[in-house]
Structure 1
Amino acid sequence: MTTDHVWRQIEQLLATATHRVILIAPFIKKEVFQAALDVIPAGVEQITCVTRWSVPEVAAGVSDPEIAELAEQDGRASVMLCHNLHAKLYAADDLYLVGSANLTGKATGRVPAANIELLVELSAAHPEVQRVITAINAGSVPGTLELAQQMREQANLMLADEDSPRVVVPGQDEQPERWLPETRNPERLYRVYNGHHQHIGSDVLAGVLRDLAHLDVGPGLAEQDFGRAVLARLHTMPELQALTEAGRINLADAQAELVAAEGCTGEQAKRTVETIAAWLSYFDEVHLVPVGPWEIRQGKELT
């Protein structure tokens, strides 16, 4: 067996295609994507590529959003993004290769020190293939050139930030770093998420990008869907357990818990709690009650 055995499997499969090719992998590098396009016969008119882009992963070099440019140049290919994608499937007409290999040099064996990967043949009719394809179709958004450019630009900004969070690739054992909101103005989040960060200072922008990296919201969402995703992430925070369970959270108690758990000063904890309150006020239906110990309460305030 050669070190590029997995690539030979993919190459031989794609060369047999007559009308349709599907390339599904979380991580796709542009050199291998171009090699795959070159193998596909000219008569194949439909090439669908499904992958995922996140700013930390692009910054880490495991994915290249520039495949959108190659797809447009090819003229037959379209790129879709599925944020929780982990499956790897490659299809020519009704025959699939399914397994562990991403469309990268190390996974396919096209570079030295290749990974040990597995791809096995399955038919399109296999129920697990159908299940995965259905889930991908329901949860994908277009990987446009504009979005690809935004991802690369934000990845470059993240690389310039020494305090940016490390990448935790889903499926590994490492747990993501503990996160507390940093951005004091949550209305900036969606603007920066969409690539609109003009007139935002570099230090403030770095904080927004760090928050977005920790939030790990998939790209291409409308503002309302983005807000729902952020709110769901907020409600996973231990500090908001009382709000979730009892419909209210005492700000003084939350501040004391932060001092005890994080070892921060009272002033740092106060600032963090105020930031959390600002996020909840922006993304959720809550209101502040400035009577006795300040509280955040679930629901709109009656006037």
Structure 2
Amino acid sequence: MTVDHVWRQIEQLLGSATDHVVLVAPFIKKEVFQATLDTVPAGVQKITCITRWSVAEVAAGVSDPEIAELAQRDGRATVLLCHNLHAKLYVADDHCLVGSANLTGKATGRVSAANVELLVEADVAHPEVQRVLAIFEGTTVPGTVELAAQIREQANLMQDDEDSPRVLVPGQEEQPTHWLPETRNPERLYRVYNGRHHQIGSDVLAGVLRDLAHLDIGPGLDEQAFGTAVLARLRAMPELHALTAAGRMNLGDAQADLVATGEFTGEQAQRAVETIAAWLHYFDDVHLVPVGPWEIRQGKELS
């Protein structure tokens, strides 16, 4: 068996296509994507590529958003994004391959240091294949050339920031999962997420990008959907358990809890709690009540 056995499987499948091709892979490198497009016969006029673009993953080098440019140049291909994608699936008309291999050099065996991967032949009519393909209908966002450029720009900024969170790849130590908001002005989050950050100073911008990396929200959302996603992430924070459970949270208690972890000074804990309060005020229906140590309470304040 050759080192490029997986690539030969993909090449044979796609070369047999006569009507349409679907490529489903979280990680796609541009060199392999171009080779894949070249493999599809000229008579096939519809190529759908479903992948995911994360700023942190692009910064880590595991995926190239520039495939959008290659798709546009080819003229037959459309790139769609599904942020929670993990499946790997390659379809040519009524036949497909399912398994573990992304469209990268190591996964397909197109480089010498190849991964151990598996692709198995299946029929597109298989219920599980149909279930996965159905999920993509109405849940993906377009992977445009403009969005690709935005993702790449932010990935480059993240690479320049030594404090930015890193994607876990084999050989790296596990990163801490604990996160508290850093950005003092939460209204900046969507601006940066949407690529409008050129009036923001470099230090502040780095903090916003770190928060966005921890939030891990898929690209291409409108502002309302983005706010909903941020709020869901906030409500999952253990520091906000009292607020979500009882509808109120004492800021003094929250500050004391952070100090008790040994990870924060009193000043750092106060700043962290104030930042959390600012995020909640911006993204949620809460208000501050000055009773003893201030409280955050669910619901809009009645006048």
Count of aligned residue pairs for this structure pair: 301
Q: Measured at CA, do residues 168 and 236 of structure 1 come closer, stay the same or move farther in structure 2, by a change above 3 Å? A: farther
Q: Following the alignment from structure 1 to structure 2, what is the Cα–Cα distance between the partners of residues 262 and 195? A: 37
Corresponding position of 2:41:
41
Contact 2:166 2:175 in 1 (8 A): no
* Shift of residue 137, structure 1, vs aligned partner: 2.1
What do residues 232-276 of structure 1 show as CA deviations (whole Å, max 9, x unaligned)? 001111110000000000000000001111431101100000000
Runs of 4+ in 1 over 6 A off after TM superposition: none
Task: State percent identity of aligned pairs.
Answer: 78
Q: What is the rounded CA distance, in whole Å, between the counterparts of 2:155 and 2:177 in structure 1?
A: 19
Q: Distance in 1 between matches of 2:168 and 2:131?
A: 26
Residue in structure 1 matched with residue 158 of structure 2 by the alignment: 158
1:280 match: secondary structure: helix
Assess if the C-alpha contact under 8 Å between 1:165 and 1:177 holds in 2: no
CA distance in 2 between counterparts of 1:238 and 1:103 reads: 37
How big is the shift at 1:136?
2.1
Correspondences of 1:135-146 after superposition (within 5 Å): 135-146=135-146
Q: CA deviation at 1:176?
A: 5.0
Residue by residue over 1:123-172, the C-alpha shift from the partner in whole angstroms, topping out at 9 and shown as x without a partner, is 11101001111112242100011100000000000000010001136xx9
Distance in 2 (alpha carbons) for counterparts of 1:174 and 1:88: 25
TM-superposition CA deviations, 1:211-230 (whole Å, max 9, x none): 00000000000100000000
Unaligned runs of 5+ in 1: none
Map of 1:89 onto structure 2: 89
Q: Counterpart amino acid of 2:21? A: V
| Partner of residue 184, structure 2 | 184
Q: Which residue identity does 2:184 align to in structure 1?
A: R
Once the 2 structures are TM-superposed, how far is the Cα of residue 198 of structure 1 from its aligned partner? 1.4
Q: Cα RMSD between the aligned structures? A: 1.3
After TM superposition, the score normalised by the length of structure 2 is 0.97
Deviates more, 1:46-55 or 1:132-141: 132-141
Q: Partners in 1 of 2:154 and 2:163 — Cα distance?
A: 14
**In structure 2, distance between residues paired with 1:276 and 1:56:** 23
**What whole-Å deviation, never above 9, does each CA across 1:84-136 have from its counterpart, x for those lacking one?**
00000000011010000000000000001100000011111101001111112
TM-score in terms of structure 1 length: 0.97
Using the TM superposition, give the Cα deviation of residue 280 of structure 1 relative to its aligned residue in structure 2, in angstroms: 0.1
Q: Structure 1's 176 and 78: CA in aligned 2 closer, same or farther, altered over 3 A?
A: farther
Contact 2:18-2:44 within 8 A present in 1 as well: yes
Superposed displacement of residue 73, structure 1: 0.2
- Partners in 1 of 2:132 and 2:76 — Cα distance? 23
Alignment of 1:278-289 (within 5 A): 278-289=278-289
Give, in whole Å, the separation in 1 of the partners of 2:138 and 2:130.
12
Aligned to 1:112: 112
Letter of the 1:150 counterpart:
Q
Runs of at least 5 residues in structure 2 that lack an aligned partner in the other structure? none
1:178 CA drift (Å): 1.2
Letter aligned with residue 231 of structure 2: L
